[in-house]
Amino acid sequence: MPDLEDLYREVILDHYRNPRNRGELDTPPAVRAEGFNPLCGDEVIVYVQLADGIIDDIKVGGQGCSISQASASMMSATVKGRTTEELRQLNRAFKAMMSIEPDPADDLSPMSGNGADIKLGDLEALKGVVKFPVRIKCATLSWHTLTQALEEAQATA
Amino acid sequence: MALDPASIRTDFPIMCRQVHGRRLVYLDSAASSHKPRAVIDAITDYYERYNSNVHRGSYQLAVEATEAMEVARNKVAQFIGASRDSEVIFAKNATEAINLVARTWGRANLGPGDPVVITELEHHANIVPWHMLTAEQGIELRWIPIDANGHLDLTDLDRLLDGARLLSVAAVSNVLGTINPIRQLADAAHQVGALMMVDASQYTPHLPTDVVEMGADFVAFTGHKMCGPTGIGVLWAKSELLETMPPFLGGGEMIQNVTKEGFSTAEVPWKFEAGTPPIAEAVGLGAAVDYLTGLGMEQVREHEVALTGYALRTLTLRYGDDITIHGPTEPAERGGVLSFEYKGIHPHDVAQVLDRSGVCVRAGHHCAKPLMRVLGCTATSRASMYVYNDESDVDALADALGDADAFFIE
Protein backbone atom coordinates (compact mmCIF):
# COMPACT_ATOMS: atom_id res chain seq x y z
CA MET A 1 0.00 0.00 0.00
CA PRO A 2 1.31 3.48 -0.83
CA ASP A 3 2.09 5.54 2.24
CA LEU A 4 -0.61 7.81 3.55
CA GLU A 5 2.16 10.38 3.88
CA ASP A 6 2.23 10.52 0.06
CA LEU A 7 -1.42 11.48 0.05
CA TYR A 8 -1.55 13.81 3.00
CA ARG A 9 1.49 15.96 2.26
CA GLU A 10 2.11 18.84 4.65
CA VAL A 11 1.39 21.51 2.04
CA ILE A 12 -1.98 19.86 1.32
CA LEU A 13 -2.90 19.73 4.98
CA ASP A 14 -1.87 23.36 5.33
CA HIS A 15 -4.28 24.38 2.56
CA TYR A 16 -6.97 22.21 4.17
CA ARG A 17 -6.55 23.80 7.59
CA ASN A 18 -6.07 27.33 6.26
CA PRO A 19 -7.96 27.49 2.97
CA ARG A 20 -7.05 30.42 0.72
CA ASN A 21 -9.61 32.60 -1.06
CA ARG A 22 -12.48 31.19 0.93
CA GLY A 23 -15.75 33.08 0.45
CA GLU A 24 -18.16 34.43 -2.13
CA LEU A 25 -18.24 37.11 -4.84
CA ASP A 26 -21.22 39.13 -6.02
CA THR A 27 -22.88 37.62 -9.07
CA PRO A 28 -22.85 39.44 -11.39
CA PRO A 29 -20.26 40.67 -12.09
CA ALA A 30 -18.71 37.33 -10.98
CA VAL A 31 -20.01 33.95 -12.17
CA ARG A 32 -20.71 31.03 -9.89
CA ALA A 33 -20.52 27.29 -10.53
CA GLU A 34 -21.19 24.30 -8.27
CA GLY A 35 -19.50 20.94 -8.50
CA PHE A 36 -20.55 17.73 -6.75
CA ASN A 37 -18.79 14.45 -6.31
CA PRO A 38 -21.78 12.11 -6.37
CA LEU A 39 -19.72 9.32 -4.82
CA CYS A 40 -18.95 10.98 -1.52
CA GLY A 41 -20.96 14.18 -1.39
CA ASP A 42 -18.05 16.60 -1.71
CA GLU A 43 -19.19 20.05 -2.81
CA VAL A 44 -17.14 22.83 -4.33
CA ILE A 45 -18.50 26.24 -5.26
CA VAL A 46 -16.32 28.50 -7.38
CA TYR A 47 -16.84 32.23 -7.95
CA VAL A 48 -14.75 33.79 -10.70
CA GLN A 49 -14.49 37.36 -11.84
CA LEU A 50 -12.82 38.03 -15.16
CA ALA A 51 -11.37 41.31 -16.35
CA ASP A 52 -9.74 41.64 -19.77
CA GLY A 53 -9.11 37.91 -20.02
CA ILE A 54 -7.52 37.75 -16.58
CA ILE A 55 -8.80 35.95 -13.48
CA ASP A 56 -9.28 39.14 -11.51
CA ASP A 57 -10.68 37.44 -8.44
CA ILE A 58 -11.68 33.95 -7.34
CA LYS A 59 -13.43 32.65 -4.22
CA VAL A 60 -14.14 29.12 -3.17
CA GLY A 61 -16.92 27.66 -1.01
CA GLY A 62 -18.34 24.24 -0.24
CA GLN A 63 -17.35 21.37 1.99
CA GLY A 64 -15.66 18.07 1.60
CA CYS A 65 -12.63 15.97 2.35
CA SER A 66 -9.11 17.32 2.83
CA ILE A 67 -8.12 16.50 -0.74
CA SER A 68 -11.08 18.21 -2.42
CA GLN A 69 -10.90 21.31 -0.22
CA ALA A 70 -7.11 21.61 -0.29
CA SER A 71 -7.09 21.15 -4.05
CA ALA A 72 -9.68 23.93 -4.42
CA SER A 73 -7.64 26.22 -2.19
CA MET A 74 -4.41 25.49 -4.07
CA MET A 75 -6.15 26.01 -7.38
CA SER A 76 -7.54 29.38 -6.32
CA ALA A 77 -4.10 30.56 -5.16
CA THR A 78 -2.49 29.37 -8.38
CA VAL A 79 -4.93 30.79 -10.93
CA LYS A 80 -5.60 34.20 -9.40
CA GLY A 81 -4.14 36.89 -11.65
CA ARG A 82 -3.49 34.48 -14.51
CA THR A 83 -4.86 34.83 -18.03
CA THR A 84 -7.58 32.42 -19.10
CA GLU A 85 -5.08 31.03 -21.59
CA GLU A 86 -2.60 30.21 -18.81
CA LEU A 87 -5.42 28.74 -16.83
CA ARG A 88 -6.31 26.35 -19.62
CA GLN A 89 -2.74 25.17 -19.78
CA LEU A 90 -2.63 24.73 -16.01
CA ASN A 91 -5.86 22.80 -16.14
CA ARG A 92 -4.48 20.47 -18.80
CA ALA A 93 -1.22 20.01 -16.97
CA PHE A 94 -3.01 19.30 -13.71
CA LYS A 95 -5.34 16.74 -15.28
CA ALA A 96 -2.33 15.14 -16.97
CA MET A 97 -0.63 14.85 -13.59
CA MET A 98 -3.83 13.21 -12.30
CA SER A 99 -3.62 10.73 -15.20
CA ILE A 100 -6.90 11.95 -16.66
CA GLU A 101 -7.59 11.94 -20.39
CA PRO A 102 -7.88 15.50 -21.76
CA ASP A 103 -11.49 16.64 -21.88
CA PRO A 104 -12.41 18.40 -25.15
CA ALA A 105 -14.31 20.94 -23.03
CA ASP A 106 -11.03 21.93 -21.39
CA ASP A 107 -9.60 22.82 -24.75
CA LEU A 108 -11.80 25.74 -25.73
CA SER A 109 -9.12 27.62 -27.56
CA PRO A 110 -7.12 26.34 -30.50
CA MET A 111 -4.17 28.26 -29.03
CA SER A 112 -3.99 25.94 -25.99
CA GLY A 113 -0.61 24.38 -25.51
CA ASN A 114 -0.19 20.87 -24.24
CA GLY A 115 0.63 22.13 -20.78
CA ALA A 116 3.98 20.39 -20.71
CA ASP A 117 5.91 23.62 -20.19
CA ILE A 118 3.66 24.88 -17.40
CA LYS A 119 4.96 24.94 -13.84
CA LEU A 120 2.44 23.54 -11.39
CA GLY A 121 4.26 24.74 -8.29
CA ASP A 122 2.45 23.83 -5.06
CA LEU A 123 -0.04 21.79 -7.05
CA GLU A 124 2.69 19.19 -7.53
CA ALA A 125 2.02 18.14 -3.94
CA LEU A 126 -1.20 16.53 -5.15
CA LYS A 127 0.75 14.09 -7.31
CA GLY A 128 0.52 11.43 -4.58
CA VAL A 129 -3.26 11.30 -5.04
CA VAL A 130 -2.76 9.25 -8.20
CA LYS A 131 -1.69 6.33 -6.03
CA PHE A 132 -5.15 6.41 -4.43
CA PRO A 133 -7.41 6.16 -7.49
CA VAL A 134 -10.66 6.69 -5.58
CA ARG A 135 -9.41 10.11 -4.48
CA ILE A 136 -8.53 11.46 -7.94
CA LYS A 137 -12.08 12.76 -8.35
CA CYS A 138 -11.71 14.66 -5.06
CA ALA A 139 -8.61 16.42 -6.40
CA THR A 140 -10.07 17.29 -9.79
CA LEU A 141 -13.53 18.42 -8.62
CA SER A 142 -12.54 22.08 -8.19
CA TRP A 143 -10.85 22.17 -11.61
CA HIS A 144 -13.97 20.79 -13.29
CA THR A 145 -16.02 23.37 -11.43
CA LEU A 146 -13.72 26.21 -12.47
CA THR A 147 -13.98 25.10 -16.12
CA GLN A 148 -17.74 25.16 -15.73
CA ALA A 149 -17.62 28.69 -14.30
CA LEU A 150 -15.46 29.89 -17.19
CA GLU A 151 -17.87 28.40 -19.72
CA GLU A 152 -20.62 30.25 -17.93
CA ALA A 153 -18.61 33.48 -18.06
CA GLN A 154 -17.94 33.09 -21.78
CA ALA A 155 -21.58 32.30 -22.47
CA THR A 156 -22.75 35.43 -20.70
CA ALA A 157 -19.96 37.68 -22.02
CA MET B 1 -27.63 -20.54 21.20
CA ALA B 2 -25.60 -17.41 20.64
CA LEU B 3 -23.80 -17.01 17.33
CA ASP B 4 -20.11 -17.79 17.24
CA PRO B 5 -18.60 -15.25 14.83
CA ALA B 6 -15.15 -16.89 14.95
CA SER B 7 -16.62 -20.13 13.65
CA ILE B 8 -18.92 -18.29 11.22
CA ARG B 9 -15.88 -16.55 9.71
CA THR B 10 -14.54 -19.93 8.62
CA ASP B 11 -17.65 -20.27 6.41
CA PHE B 12 -16.60 -17.14 4.48
CA PRO B 13 -13.57 -17.70 2.23
CA ILE B 14 -12.87 -13.96 1.87
CA MET B 15 -12.15 -13.73 5.60
CA CYS B 16 -8.82 -15.45 4.92
CA ARG B 17 -7.44 -12.56 2.97
CA GLN B 18 -5.32 -9.76 4.30
CA VAL B 19 -5.51 -6.08 3.43
CA HIS B 20 -2.29 -4.06 3.46
CA GLY B 21 -0.75 -6.89 5.47
CA ARG B 22 -3.47 -6.73 8.12
CA ARG B 23 -6.42 -8.92 9.00
CA LEU B 24 -9.58 -7.96 7.09
CA VAL B 25 -11.89 -6.01 9.39
CA TYR B 26 -14.99 -5.72 7.25
CA LEU B 27 -17.48 -3.21 8.62
CA ASP B 28 -19.43 -2.40 5.46
CA SER B 29 -22.06 -5.10 5.28
CA ALA B 30 -24.82 -2.50 4.98
CA ALA B 31 -23.34 -1.81 1.53
CA SER B 32 -22.80 -5.48 0.68
CA SER B 33 -22.28 -8.58 2.79
CA HIS B 34 -19.75 -11.29 2.14
CA LYS B 35 -20.78 -14.70 0.79
CA PRO B 36 -20.42 -18.01 2.60
CA ARG B 37 -18.86 -21.00 0.86
CA ALA B 38 -22.34 -22.59 0.57
CA VAL B 39 -23.56 -19.74 -1.65
CA ILE B 40 -20.43 -19.71 -3.82
CA ASP B 41 -20.68 -23.50 -4.20
CA ALA B 42 -24.38 -23.39 -5.14
CA ILE B 43 -23.62 -20.92 -7.94
CA THR B 44 -20.64 -22.96 -9.16
CA ASP B 45 -22.74 -26.11 -9.02
CA TYR B 46 -25.40 -24.54 -11.23
CA TYR B 47 -22.86 -23.56 -13.87
CA GLU B 48 -20.97 -26.84 -13.67
CA ARG B 49 -23.88 -29.30 -13.58
CA TYR B 50 -27.17 -27.94 -14.93
CA ASN B 51 -26.58 -24.56 -16.59
CA SER B 52 -29.43 -23.94 -19.07
CA ASN B 53 -32.32 -21.57 -19.62
CA VAL B 54 -35.47 -21.90 -17.55
CA HIS B 55 -39.12 -22.41 -18.40
CA ARG B 56 -38.47 -23.26 -22.05
CA GLY B 57 -36.61 -26.53 -22.47
CA SER B 58 -37.89 -30.07 -22.16
CA TYR B 59 -34.47 -31.63 -21.68
CA GLN B 60 -33.10 -32.74 -18.33
CA LEU B 61 -30.76 -29.79 -17.70
CA ALA B 62 -33.52 -27.27 -18.33
CA VAL B 63 -35.86 -29.18 -16.07
CA GLU B 64 -33.27 -29.08 -13.30
CA ALA B 65 -32.54 -25.37 -13.78
CA THR B 66 -36.24 -24.50 -13.76
CA GLU B 67 -36.76 -26.61 -10.68
CA ALA B 68 -33.78 -25.00 -8.90
CA MET B 69 -35.03 -21.51 -9.64
CA GLU B 70 -38.53 -22.25 -8.40
CA VAL B 71 -37.16 -23.99 -5.31
CA ALA B 72 -35.19 -20.79 -4.62
CA ARG B 73 -38.41 -18.80 -4.96
CA ASN B 74 -40.05 -21.11 -2.45
CA LYS B 75 -37.16 -20.72 -0.01
CA VAL B 76 -37.39 -16.94 -0.21
CA ALA B 77 -41.16 -17.07 0.24
CA GLN B 78 -40.78 -19.20 3.37
CA PHE B 79 -38.01 -16.96 4.69
CA ILE B 80 -40.24 -13.86 4.60
CA GLY B 81 -43.52 -15.49 5.58
CA ALA B 82 -45.18 -15.11 2.17
CA SER B 83 -48.31 -17.22 1.82
CA ARG B 84 -47.62 -18.05 -1.85
CA ASP B 85 -44.43 -18.54 -3.83
CA SER B 86 -45.98 -16.58 -6.72
CA GLU B 87 -45.92 -13.45 -4.57
CA VAL B 88 -42.12 -13.45 -4.83
CA ILE B 89 -40.90 -11.57 -7.92
CA PHE B 90 -37.20 -11.76 -8.73
CA ALA B 91 -35.74 -8.38 -9.70
CA LYS B 92 -32.20 -7.13 -10.21
CA ASN B 93 -32.01 -5.54 -6.75
CA ALA B 94 -34.18 -3.60 -4.30
CA THR B 95 -33.89 -0.50 -6.47
CA GLU B 96 -35.43 -2.32 -9.41
CA ALA B 97 -38.12 -3.79 -7.16
CA ILE B 98 -39.17 -0.30 -6.00
CA ASN B 99 -39.02 1.03 -9.55
CA LEU B 100 -41.18 -1.89 -10.65
CA VAL B 101 -43.90 -0.73 -8.26
CA ALA B 102 -43.55 2.90 -9.35
CA ARG B 103 -43.55 2.02 -13.06
CA THR B 104 -46.43 -0.48 -12.98
CA TRP B 105 -48.73 0.13 -10.02
CA GLY B 106 -47.77 3.80 -9.85
CA ARG B 107 -48.28 4.58 -13.51
CA ALA B 108 -51.62 2.74 -13.59
CA ASN B 109 -53.00 4.14 -10.37
CA LEU B 110 -51.49 7.56 -9.67
CA GLY B 111 -52.40 10.84 -11.29
CA PRO B 112 -51.87 14.58 -10.83
CA GLY B 113 -51.95 15.62 -7.18
CA ASP B 114 -52.07 12.05 -5.82
CA PRO B 115 -49.95 12.02 -2.66
CA VAL B 116 -47.15 9.52 -2.13
CA VAL B 117 -45.66 9.71 1.36
CA ILE B 118 -42.05 8.82 2.15
CA THR B 119 -39.67 9.80 4.97
CA GLU B 120 -36.56 11.92 5.41
CA LEU B 121 -34.42 8.86 6.11
CA GLU B 122 -35.02 7.09 2.80
CA HIS B 123 -32.31 5.77 0.51
CA HIS B 124 -32.32 7.40 -2.93
CA ALA B 125 -33.86 4.15 -4.23
CA ASN B 126 -37.06 5.07 -2.43
CA ILE B 127 -36.92 8.75 -3.40
CA VAL B 128 -35.89 9.11 -7.03
CA PRO B 129 -38.57 6.76 -8.51
CA TRP B 130 -41.18 9.03 -6.88
CA HIS B 131 -39.44 12.20 -8.07
CA MET B 132 -39.67 10.68 -11.55
CA LEU B 133 -43.41 10.13 -11.14
CA THR B 134 -43.73 13.69 -9.88
CA ALA B 135 -42.14 14.91 -13.10
CA GLU B 136 -44.06 12.54 -15.36
CA GLN B 137 -47.47 12.31 -13.74
CA GLY B 138 -47.63 15.20 -11.31
CA ILE B 139 -47.94 13.15 -8.13
CA GLU B 140 -47.36 14.99 -4.87
CA LEU B 141 -44.41 13.77 -2.76
CA ARG B 142 -44.73 14.23 1.01
CA TRP B 143 -42.05 13.66 3.64
CA ILE B 144 -42.36 12.35 7.19
CA PRO B 145 -39.67 14.20 9.20
CA ILE B 146 -37.25 12.70 11.73
CA ASP B 147 -36.62 13.90 15.26
CA ALA B 148 -33.30 14.68 16.95
CA ASN B 149 -32.72 11.02 17.88
CA GLY B 150 -33.20 9.78 14.34
CA HIS B 151 -36.68 8.36 14.92
CA LEU B 152 -39.57 9.23 12.62
CA ASP B 153 -41.56 12.16 13.97
CA LEU B 154 -45.14 10.97 13.56
CA THR B 155 -46.77 14.05 15.11
CA ASP B 156 -48.24 15.13 11.79
CA LEU B 157 -48.82 11.67 10.38
CA ASP B 158 -52.59 12.10 10.00
CA ARG B 159 -52.16 15.29 8.01
CA LEU B 160 -49.39 13.80 5.86
CA LEU B 161 -51.47 10.71 5.13
CA ASP B 162 -54.62 12.68 4.31
CA GLY B 163 -55.64 11.58 0.80
CA ALA B 164 -52.45 9.53 0.39
CA ARG B 165 -52.34 6.69 -2.13
CA LEU B 166 -49.08 5.10 -1.00
CA LEU B 167 -46.82 5.20 2.04
CA SER B 168 -43.32 3.90 1.29
CA VAL B 169 -40.83 3.58 4.14
CA ALA B 170 -37.49 1.93 4.90
CA ALA B 171 -37.87 -0.65 7.66
CA VAL B 172 -34.34 0.14 8.87
CA SER B 173 -32.40 3.30 7.96
CA ASN B 174 -29.18 2.54 6.11
CA VAL B 175 -27.57 5.58 7.75
CA LEU B 176 -29.03 5.88 11.25
CA GLY B 177 -29.91 2.25 11.86
CA THR B 178 -33.34 3.35 13.10
CA ILE B 179 -35.90 0.56 13.07
CA ASN B 180 -39.17 2.11 12.00
CA PRO B 181 -42.61 1.14 13.38
CA ILE B 182 -43.69 -0.53 10.14
CA ARG B 183 -46.86 -2.21 11.44
CA GLN B 184 -48.11 1.03 12.97
CA LEU B 185 -47.41 2.91 9.74
CA ALA B 186 -49.06 0.21 7.62
CA ASP B 187 -52.19 0.33 9.77
CA ALA B 188 -52.28 4.12 9.52
CA ALA B 189 -51.86 3.95 5.74
CA HIS B 190 -54.60 1.36 5.35
CA GLN B 191 -56.95 3.42 7.48
CA VAL B 192 -56.91 6.16 4.84
CA GLY B 193 -57.04 3.70 1.95
CA ALA B 194 -53.36 4.02 1.03
CA LEU B 195 -51.09 1.08 0.24
CA MET B 196 -47.93 0.36 2.23
CA MET B 197 -44.56 -0.35 0.68
CA VAL B 198 -41.57 -1.38 2.80
CA ASP B 199 -37.95 -1.02 1.70
CA ALA B 200 -36.59 -3.96 3.71
CA SER B 201 -33.06 -3.83 2.26
CA GLN B 202 -31.50 -3.27 5.71
CA TYR B 203 -34.12 -5.31 7.57
CA THR B 204 -34.47 -8.72 5.94
CA PRO B 205 -30.72 -9.52 6.20
CA HIS B 206 -30.72 -8.76 9.93
CA LEU B 207 -34.12 -9.42 11.52
CA PRO B 208 -36.75 -12.14 11.18
CA THR B 209 -39.03 -10.94 8.38
CA ASP B 210 -42.75 -11.64 8.19
CA VAL B 211 -44.39 -9.67 5.39
CA VAL B 212 -47.88 -10.49 6.66
CA GLU B 213 -47.02 -9.38 10.19
CA MET B 214 -45.57 -6.15 8.76
CA GLY B 215 -48.96 -5.41 7.25
CA ALA B 216 -47.28 -4.43 3.99
CA ASP B 217 -48.62 -4.52 0.45
CA PHE B 218 -45.20 -4.34 -1.19
CA VAL B 219 -41.82 -5.33 0.28
CA ALA B 220 -38.52 -4.84 -1.54
CA PHE B 221 -35.09 -6.15 -0.58
CA THR B 222 -31.85 -7.23 -2.20
CA GLY B 223 -29.86 -10.46 -2.19
CA HIS B 224 -26.29 -9.22 -1.88
CA LYS B 225 -26.78 -7.67 1.57
CA MET B 226 -27.98 -11.03 2.98
CA CYS B 227 -25.10 -13.34 2.00
CA GLY B 228 -26.49 -13.78 -1.51
CA PRO B 229 -24.96 -12.77 -4.85
CA THR B 230 -25.29 -9.42 -6.57
CA GLY B 231 -27.76 -9.08 -9.43
CA ILE B 232 -30.80 -10.42 -7.62
CA GLY B 233 -33.39 -8.72 -5.49
CA VAL B 234 -36.95 -9.43 -4.50
CA LEU B 235 -40.28 -7.71 -4.71
CA TRP B 236 -42.93 -9.33 -2.60
CA ALA B 237 -46.49 -8.13 -3.17
CA LYS B 238 -49.97 -9.34 -2.37
CA SER B 239 -51.37 -11.62 -5.07
CA GLU B 240 -54.44 -9.50 -5.71
CA LEU B 241 -52.23 -6.48 -6.44
CA LEU B 242 -49.88 -8.42 -8.71
CA GLU B 243 -52.83 -9.78 -10.67
CA THR B 244 -54.13 -6.33 -11.56
CA MET B 245 -50.80 -4.54 -12.05
CA PRO B 246 -49.66 -4.03 -15.65
CA PRO B 247 -46.40 -5.77 -16.63
CA PHE B 248 -43.01 -4.09 -16.12
CA LEU B 249 -40.55 -4.87 -18.92
CA GLY B 250 -41.78 -6.53 -22.11
CA GLY B 251 -40.09 -9.49 -23.79
CA GLY B 252 -39.63 -13.21 -23.46
CA GLU B 253 -40.78 -15.12 -20.36
CA MET B 254 -43.45 -12.56 -19.44
CA ILE B 255 -45.95 -13.45 -22.19
CA GLN B 256 -48.67 -15.99 -22.69
CA ASN B 257 -49.20 -15.19 -26.36
CA VAL B 258 -47.81 -12.75 -28.89
CA THR B 259 -49.36 -11.89 -32.25
CA LYS B 260 -48.80 -9.13 -34.78
CA GLU B 261 -51.61 -7.29 -33.08
CA GLY B 262 -50.50 -7.55 -29.49
CA PHE B 263 -49.70 -9.80 -26.55
CA SER B 264 -51.17 -11.30 -23.43
CA THR B 265 -49.17 -11.65 -20.24
CA ALA B 266 -47.94 -14.75 -18.45
CA GLU B 267 -49.18 -15.59 -15.00
CA VAL B 268 -47.79 -13.98 -11.88
CA PRO B 269 -44.87 -13.99 -11.00
CA TRP B 270 -43.43 -14.52 -14.52
CA LYS B 271 -45.50 -11.60 -15.85
CA PHE B 272 -42.93 -9.36 -14.11
CA GLU B 273 -39.81 -11.29 -15.07
CA ALA B 274 -39.11 -10.46 -18.72
CA GLY B 275 -36.08 -12.03 -20.38
CA THR B 276 -33.78 -14.74 -19.12
CA PRO B 277 -33.81 -14.31 -15.35
CA PRO B 278 -30.77 -14.30 -13.05
CA ILE B 279 -30.86 -18.08 -12.59
CA ALA B 280 -27.49 -18.64 -10.91
CA GLU B 281 -28.20 -15.65 -8.69
CA ALA B 282 -31.60 -17.02 -7.68
CA VAL B 283 -29.98 -20.35 -6.82
CA GLY B 284 -27.34 -18.48 -4.82
CA LEU B 285 -29.99 -16.47 -2.99
CA GLY B 286 -31.77 -19.70 -2.12
CA ALA B 287 -28.52 -21.00 -0.61
CA ALA B 288 -28.08 -17.71 1.29
CA VAL B 289 -31.55 -18.07 2.75
CA ASP B 290 -30.69 -21.63 3.82
CA TYR B 291 -27.48 -20.38 5.41
CA LEU B 292 -29.22 -17.63 7.39
CA THR B 293 -32.02 -19.99 8.40
CA GLY B 294 -29.33 -22.36 9.67
CA LEU B 295 -27.90 -19.61 11.86
CA GLY B 296 -31.38 -18.59 12.96
CA MET B 297 -32.60 -15.05 12.31
CA GLU B 298 -33.52 -14.56 15.98
CA GLN B 299 -29.90 -15.36 16.84
CA VAL B 300 -28.63 -13.05 14.09
CA ARG B 301 -30.66 -10.22 15.58
CA GLU B 302 -29.54 -10.98 19.15
CA HIS B 303 -25.91 -11.01 18.05
CA GLU B 304 -26.27 -7.65 16.33
CA VAL B 305 -28.02 -6.03 19.27
CA ALA B 306 -25.21 -7.18 21.58
CA LEU B 307 -22.46 -6.12 19.17
CA THR B 308 -24.10 -2.76 18.45
CA GLY B 309 -24.31 -2.14 22.19
CA TYR B 310 -20.64 -3.01 22.55
CA ALA B 311 -19.71 -0.68 19.67
CA LEU B 312 -21.74 2.23 21.06
CA ARG B 313 -20.17 1.76 24.51
CA THR B 314 -16.63 1.26 23.25
CA LEU B 315 -16.55 4.23 20.89
CA THR B 316 -18.21 6.52 23.42
CA LEU B 317 -15.92 5.44 26.28
CA ARG B 318 -12.85 5.79 24.14
CA TYR B 319 -13.60 9.03 22.37
CA GLY B 320 -16.32 10.78 24.39
CA ASP B 321 -17.25 14.11 22.87
CA ASP B 322 -14.77 13.64 20.02
CA ILE B 323 -17.17 11.24 18.36
CA THR B 324 -20.79 11.84 17.37
CA ILE B 325 -22.80 8.73 16.61
CA HIS B 326 -26.03 9.43 14.76
CA GLY B 327 -29.30 7.65 15.36
CA PRO B 328 -31.03 5.97 18.29
CA THR B 329 -28.89 5.38 21.38
CA GLU B 330 -30.67 2.14 22.40
CA PRO B 331 -29.28 -0.94 20.61
CA ALA B 332 -32.73 -2.56 20.74
CA GLU B 333 -34.15 0.31 18.67
CA ARG B 334 -31.62 0.09 15.89
CA GLY B 335 -29.82 -2.13 13.44
CA GLY B 336 -26.05 -2.66 13.43
CA VAL B 337 -25.35 0.46 11.37
CA LEU B 338 -23.28 3.19 13.03
CA SER B 339 -22.85 6.48 11.26
CA PHE B 340 -20.41 8.71 13.02
CA GLU B 341 -18.37 11.87 12.83
CA TYR B 342 -14.95 12.00 14.45
CA LYS B 343 -13.29 15.28 15.55
CA GLY B 344 -14.66 17.09 12.52
CA ILE B 345 -12.34 15.11 10.26
CA HIS B 346 -14.01 14.49 6.93
CA PRO B 347 -15.39 10.93 6.63
CA HIS B 348 -13.48 10.36 3.40
CA ASP B 349 -10.26 11.04 5.26
CA VAL B 350 -11.33 8.92 8.23
CA ALA B 351 -12.08 5.98 5.94
CA GLN B 352 -8.75 6.43 4.16
CA VAL B 353 -6.83 6.26 7.43
CA LEU B 354 -8.86 3.24 8.65
CA ASP B 355 -8.13 1.41 5.41
CA ARG B 356 -4.44 1.40 6.29
CA SER B 357 -5.32 -0.87 9.21
CA GLY B 358 -7.49 -3.16 7.11
CA VAL B 359 -10.64 -1.61 8.54
CA CYS B 360 -13.31 -1.20 5.84
CA VAL B 361 -15.95 1.44 6.52
CA ARG B 362 -18.07 3.45 4.15
CA ALA B 363 -17.68 7.21 3.85
CA GLY B 364 -20.09 9.45 2.04
CA HIS B 365 -23.76 10.35 1.84
CA HIS B 366 -24.86 6.69 1.70
CA CYS B 367 -27.35 7.46 -1.08
CA ALA B 368 -29.39 9.51 1.38
CA LYS B 369 -28.64 13.13 0.52
CA PRO B 370 -31.93 14.54 1.84
CA LEU B 371 -31.15 12.88 5.20
CA MET B 372 -27.60 14.28 5.17
CA ARG B 373 -29.09 17.75 4.77
CA VAL B 374 -31.39 17.15 7.75
CA LEU B 375 -28.39 15.96 9.80
CA GLY B 376 -26.52 19.10 8.75
CA CYS B 377 -23.62 17.36 7.04
CA THR B 378 -22.62 16.22 3.57
CA ALA B 379 -21.19 12.88 4.61
CA THR B 380 -20.65 10.49 7.51
CA SER B 381 -18.40 7.52 8.20
CA ARG B 382 -20.43 4.37 8.59
CA ALA B 383 -19.47 1.09 10.24
CA SER B 384 -22.00 -1.70 9.76
CA MET B 385 -21.94 -5.16 11.24
CA TYR B 386 -23.06 -8.65 10.38
CA VAL B 387 -22.88 -12.27 11.49
CA TYR B 388 -19.11 -12.60 10.99
CA ASN B 389 -18.21 -9.51 13.05
CA ASP B 390 -17.34 -9.59 16.71
CA GLU B 391 -15.90 -7.39 19.42
CA SER B 392 -12.38 -7.65 18.00
CA ASP B 393 -13.61 -5.84 14.86
CA VAL B 394 -15.07 -3.04 16.94
CA ASP B 395 -11.80 -2.82 18.89
CA ALA B 396 -9.82 -2.65 15.62
CA LEU B 397 -12.04 0.22 14.48
CA ALA B 398 -11.61 2.05 17.79
CA ASP B 399 -7.82 1.54 17.71
CA ALA B 400 -7.39 2.73 14.11
CA LEU B 401 -9.63 5.76 14.48
CA GLY B 402 -7.10 7.57 16.64
CA ASP B 403 -4.51 7.30 13.83
CA ALA B 404 -6.38 10.05 11.98
CA ASP B 405 -5.23 12.59 14.57
CA ALA B 406 -1.65 12.48 13.33
CA PHE B 407 -2.71 13.95 9.99
CA PHE B 408 -5.65 16.14 10.75
CA ILE B 409 -5.41 17.42 14.32
CA GLU B 410 -2.83 20.12 14.84
> Structural domains in chain A?
4-156 (3.90.1010.10)
- Answer whether residue A114 shows pLDDT above 60: no
Task: Considering chain B, tell me which residue range(s) the CATH 3.90.1150.10 domain(s) occupy.
Answer: 5-31+296-408
SS3 label, residue B110 = coil
**CB neighbour list of residue A79: distance below 8 Å, 6 or more residues apart:** A55, A58, A86, A87, A90, A146
pLDDT at residue B148 in the model: 93
pLDDT at residue A116 in the model: 53
Q: In 3D, which of B385, B389, B380 has the Cα closest to residue B331?
A: B385
pTM over 0.90: yes
Confidence of residue A120 (pLDDT cuts 50, 70, 90): confident
Helix spans in A98-135 (H): none
Q: What is the ipTM of this complex?
A: 0.83
Task: Considering chain B, tell me which residue range(s) the CATH 3.40.640.10 domain(s) occupy.
Answer: 40-294
pLDDT at residue A3 in the model: 85
CA A129 to chain centre: 14
Crossing angle, helix A84-97 and helix A136-156, to 10 degrees? 160
When scoring A65, A71, A137, A138 by the number of chain B Cβ atoms within 10 A, the one with the most, hence best to mutate, is A65
Amino acid letter for position B97: A
Phi, psi of A113 (to 5 degrees): -80, -175
* B394 CB burial (10 A radius; 0-12, 13-18, 19+): buried
List the CATH code of the domain at B40-294.
3.40.640.10
Q: How far apart are CA B61 and CA B52, in angstroms?
A: 6
pLDDT at residue A108 in the model: 46
Query: For residues B189 and B161, is the Cβ–Cβ distance under 8 A?
Result: yes
- Answer whether residue A111 shows pLDDT above 50: no
Q: Of B346, B353, B408, which is closest to A64 when you measure between CB atoms?
A: B346
Walking along chain B (410 residues) 10 residues at a time, the average pLDDT comes out as 94 95 96 98 98 88 95 98 98 98 98 98 98 98 96 98 98 98 98 98 98 98 98 98 97 93 95 96 98 98 98 97 96 96 94 95 94 92 98 97 89
CB-CB under 8 Å, B407 with A40? no
Count interface pairs A-B at CB distance under 8 A.
Answer: 54
B325 forms beta bridges with: B340
Rounded to a whole number of angstroms, the distance from the CA of A64 to the nearest CA of chain B is: 7
pLDDT tens-digit map of A53-83: 899 999 999 989 999 999 999 999 999 999 9
Q: In 3D, which of B92, B132, B131, B125 has the Cα closest to residue B272?
A: B92
Q: Of A1, A63, A67, which is closest to B356 when you measure between CB atoms?
A: A1
Rounded to a whole number of angstroms, the distance from the CA of A6 to the nearest CA of chain B is: 12
Q: How far apart are CA A58 and CA A76, in angstroms?
A: 6
Residue A58 belongs to what H/E stretch?
Answer: strand A54-61
* CATH architecture assigned to B5-31+296-408: Alpha-Beta Complex (3.90)
Q: Which residues of B are catalytic?
A: 367
Amino acid letter for position B98: I
When scoring A4, A15, A42 by the number of chain B Cβ atoms within 10 A, the one with the most, hence best to mutate, is A4
Helix spans in B86-216 (H): 94-101, 107-109, 128-137, 157-161, 182-191, 211-214
CB-CB under 8 Å, A135 with B348? yes
Residues of A with CB under 8 A from a CB of B: 1, 4, 7-8, 13, 16-17, 39-43, 63-69, 132, 135, 138
Confidence of residue A157 (pLDDT cuts 50, 70, 90): low
* Highest mean pLDDT out of A3-7, A142-146, B126-130: B126-130
* A99 CB burial (10 A radius; 0-12, 13-18, 19+): exposed
- Answer whether residue A154 shows pLDDT above 90: no
Q: How far apart are CA B92 and CA B233, in angstroms?
A: 5
Q: Of A1, A63, A65, which is closest to B349 when you measure between CB atoms?
A: A65
CB-CB under 8 Å, B352 with A40? no
Q: Of B348, B372, B407, which is closest to A138 when you measure between CB atoms?
A: B348
